[in-house]
C-alpha cells in the first residue's frame, strides 16, 4: 500500500471516529434539552402564559392580575405583545415562554444543550471534512455522505438562526433527535466505504448542484418542523377558544411553544426564502446532466421527483397567497411537499432504478 492510499485510509477512519463522536455529544445535547423541558414545565411563568393564552378572544386590552403587594394593592399589567394570527379568522395569542419556561434551571439546561449542539456540530463538520479529504472530492457522492452532510447543514441553519437572535430554541429537541436518527441510519444502513465517482460525474457541477440540494433539504426540514408544530399549537389554541380543556401534555408542552401565528409565519418565510434556490438546484442539475449524459432532461426518476417537489412547494406558496388556503390547509400542503423531498432522497435512491443510482447506498 502506497503512502497516498494509507493516508486516505487513515482519513476515512478519522472521519468515522468523528461522526461517532458527534453522535455521542448530540446524545448529551438530547438529554440536556429534555431537562430543559422538564424544568420548564415547573415554571410559574409557564403557568401564567398558559392562563393568558386561555384569554383568547377576550375583548379587554389589559389583563388585571391580583398580586401580593404591601397593602394588598391590585396591579394592572399590560397584555404581552400580541401576535395576529396568519391563518383565516382572528385569534390574538401571545407566544409561549419557551422550553425553559422562564426558569433559571430550565434556561441553564437549555444553554448547556445549545453548547453541546455547537460542539457536536464542530465535531461532525470535522468528520465531513475528513471524509472529503479521504476521497479527494466533494463529500456527497453517495447516500451516506449526503446524509452526514445534510444533518450538518441542518444544524448549521439552526445555529445561524440562534446567532441571529431568532426565537427557535423550541426546535432544539426535535432537531437533535432527527440528527441522531439521521446519523444512526447513515452509519448502520447507508454506510459506504470511501470510493471515487464514475468519470462522467467528475465535474465542478457536483459542488454546485449537490451542495445546493443539501442546503435546500436542510432548510425545508427546518420549515417542516415549524409547520408540524404549528398544527399542534393551532389545535391547542382552537380548543382553548372553544372552551375545551386541553390535556396535561398540551398544557405543559404546547403552551410553551410560540403562538400558532408565529409558527405559521416562520414556516412560510423559511420555505419561501429557499424555494428560489431549489429552482436553481433543478436547473443546475439539468445543466450537469447535459454535460455528463448528453441530455438536459430525460425523465429519470430523480429528475421527475425533483420536479414534483418543486411543483408541491410552488402550490404551497401560491396557496399561502390565496385567501381560502391559509392556515391548516396550506400547512398540510407544506408537509406533503417535504414528504416529496424525502421520497426523492430515500425512496428514489433505494427503491427506484435510474441514472442517479450510480452512487448506490
Pairing of strands 83-84, 92-93: antiparallel
Residue 344 in contact with residue 305, Cβ under 8 Å? yes
Q: What percent of the chain has pLDDT over 70?
A: 81
Helices (H) and strands (E) in the chain, counts: 12, 4
- pLDDT confidence bin for 57, thresholds 50/70/90: very low
**Hunting for cell 396568519 — which residue is that?**
86
Those residues whose C-beta lies under 8 Å from the C-beta of residue 265, and which sit 6 or more positions away, are 86
Query: Considering the entire predicted model, what is its pTM?
Result: 0.83
Q: What percent of the chain has pLDDT over 90?
A: 50
The pLDDT of residue 312 is above 60: yes
Q: What is the pLDDT of residues 114-126, one digit of tens each?
A: 999 999 999 999 9
Residues 305, 227: Cα–Cα separation, whole Å: 22
The pLDDT of residue 62 is above 50: no
Residue 50 in contact with residue 247, Cβ under 8 Å? no
Residue 240 in contact with residue 53, Cβ under 8 Å? yes
**Hunting for cell 448549521 — which residue is that?**
156
**Mean predicted confidence (pLDDT) in 273-292:** 91
Amino acid at each position: 500500500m502506497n503512502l497516498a492510499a494509507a493516508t486516505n485510509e487513515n482519513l476515512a477512519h478519522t472521519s468515522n471516529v468523528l461522526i461517532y463522536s458527534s453522535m455521542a455529544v448530540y446524545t448529551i445535547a438530547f438529554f440536556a434539552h429534555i431537562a430543559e423541558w422538564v424544568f420548564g414545565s415547573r415554571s410559574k411563568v409557564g403557568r401564567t402564559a398558559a392562563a393568558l393564552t386561555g384569554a383568547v378572544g377576550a375583548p379587554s386590552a389589559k389583563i388585571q392580575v391580583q398580586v401580593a403587594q404591601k397593602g394588598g394593592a391590585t396591579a394592572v399589567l399590560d397584555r404581552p405583545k400580541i401576535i395576529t394570527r396568519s391563518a383565516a379568522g382572528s385569534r390574538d395569542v401571545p407566544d409561549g415562554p419557551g422550553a425553559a419556561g422562564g426558569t433559571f434551571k430550565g434556561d441553564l439546561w437549555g444553554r448547556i444543550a445549545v453548547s453541546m449542539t455547537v460542539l457536536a456540530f464542530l465535531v461532525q463538520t470535522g468528520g465531513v471534512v475528513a471524509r472529503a479529504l479521504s476521497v479527494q472530492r466533494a463529500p456527497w457522492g453517495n447516500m451516506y455522505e449526503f446524509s452526514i452532510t445534510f444533518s450538518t447543514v441542518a444544524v448549521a441553519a439552526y445555529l445561524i438562526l440562534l446567532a441571529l437572535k431568532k426565537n427557535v430554541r423550541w426546535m432544539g429537541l426535535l432537531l437533535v433527535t432527527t440528527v441522531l436518527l439521521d446519523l444512526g441510519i447513515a452509519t448502520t444502513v447507508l454506510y459506504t466505504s470511501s470510493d471515487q465517482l464514475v468519470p462522467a460525474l467528475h465535474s465542478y457541477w457536483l459542488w454546485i448542484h449537490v451542495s445546493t440540494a443539501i442546503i435546500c433539504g436542510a432548510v425545508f426540514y427546518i420549515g417542516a418542523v415549524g409547520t408540524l408544530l404549528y398544527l399542534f399549537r393551532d389545535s391547542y389554541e382552537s380548543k382553548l377558544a372553544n372552551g375545551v380543556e386541553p390535556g396535561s401534555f398540551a398544557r405543559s408542552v404546547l403552551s410553551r411553544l410560540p403562538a400558532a401565528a408565529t409558527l405559521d409565519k416562520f414556516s412560510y418565510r423559511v420555505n419561501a426564502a429557499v424555494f428560489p434556490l431549489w429552482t436553481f438546484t433543478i436547473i443546475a442539475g439539468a445543466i450537469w446532466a447535459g454535460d455528463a449524459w448528453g441530455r438536459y432532461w430525460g425523465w429519470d426518476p430523480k429528475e421527475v421527483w425533483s420536479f414534483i417537489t418543486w411543483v408541491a412547494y410552488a402550490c404551497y406558496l401560491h396557496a399561502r397567497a390565496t385567501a381560502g388556503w391559509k392556515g391548516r390547509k396550506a400547512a398540510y400542503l407544506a408537509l406533503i411537499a417535504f414528504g416529496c423531498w424525502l421520497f426523492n432522497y430515500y425512496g428514489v435512491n433505494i427503491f427506484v432504478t435510474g441514472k442517479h443510482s450510480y452512487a448506490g447506498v
